[in-house]
Structure 1
Amino acid sequence: MVRTARYSEEDFIEATMALVGEGGPAAATMQAIARRVGAPTGSIYHRFESRAAVLGAAWNAAYGSFTRALAPLLHEGRPRDAALAILPWSRENGHRARFLLLHEPVTLFEDTPPPAPQRLELERLEEAFDGAFRACLAVRRGTPKGRMPFARRNWPAPIPDLRRADRDPSSPPDAGRHAAAFRRADDRRAACRNARRRHAGQGPAARGFA
């Protein structure tokens, strides 16, 4: 008779996202994750080789959910709808949104980079998302590049509103302000990229992995 596993990888991933969302990356120790699931600590090590591995799997799960919500709209050439889709996605996926939008890979993995499988999966997800933006630009190729309001380089604009909404759910973000905010986001995006490069170097490290 085949014995069914009592705890799944998803159980530990969800617990990791919840702990990081509540207390920051330091809260997600292997013991705390196992305790959150109600499993013995040994159970998590049967599924993940290290804390960096489970954090990497959690990041990929949250980021994959996020990109799956937006990428189809981008492929259809609907960047405004894709940008505004961040808001309902965040409401419907509160713990994923807190985990993903309030932290960067560079802070999650400042001590130890994730193992190769998780790192390669994140690179695959990022390339697919970048491909969705390229497809969007191709669909809207009649729009002058300098006037494309929701290009990939402007994407972080709604995040401050989402952070405020996370702290005060009674005050939902004002989606109507995002068009202007996206046009002002170039400098913030460039500063973020430069900070990551200074911290982590070039190549895959520029994505937040040292």
Structure 2
Amino acid sequence: MPHQALIEKRPWLLASLAAGIGFWLLKDTGLPGLYQIALKGAGVALLAVYALARHKGHDANTIAAVMAFGALGDVLIEFRLEAGAVAFLIGHLIAIRLYWQHRRPNPSGSQRAAALALLVLTSLVSFQLGGALVAVYALGLGAMAATAWLSTFSRYRVGLGAVLFVISDLLIFARMGVLADSPLPDLLIWPLYYFGQFLICVGVVGELRRRAGAA
């Protein structure tokens, strides 16, 4: 879509991209901490606004709530890790319900296997990286990704976005231990997470609009 059309038709999406990319570029600069936190929270919060502006209905409200809890988690995690994790987990549970309501009637064997791997391996790897409490959170994370993969929403957007979210969180857990001295987590965690949320939101809203148009 041309740049001018993006500004005119999807201003909230453009604003989200500006905030999300801006935070990644400015997070290691001299920008005061509160401004960084506000910019960080704005990235995904504006995705929630985009969802509400682009489509009306219960499912659009639901994915907007998922984004809202994600944005809340982005802010809370800067003050207390556990508080941020609770906000993210609530968002995962809401997303699981949405994806389950839109599950594929007859997924293939490979799709089922991929979903099972996302559910099981996310928890097992998280347990190895961070222990039992981290694994409890990761169970919700893995279930979110598994149900997204099995949903009727696009796997190339929603499914891939959920997988990027999983990888981002695994890097957070790895930064606590095995990758504590590596620069990779700080470089990759935010872009993987933000663009994962971006793909999820755009994928769900786009599919809802397509179905509404077909109806």
Indicate whether the TM-score tops 0.5. Answer: no
Give the structure with the higher percent helix: 2
Rg larger in 1 or in 2? 1
Q: TM-score, normalised by structure 2?
A: 0.28
Q: TM-score, normalised by structure 1?
A: 0.29
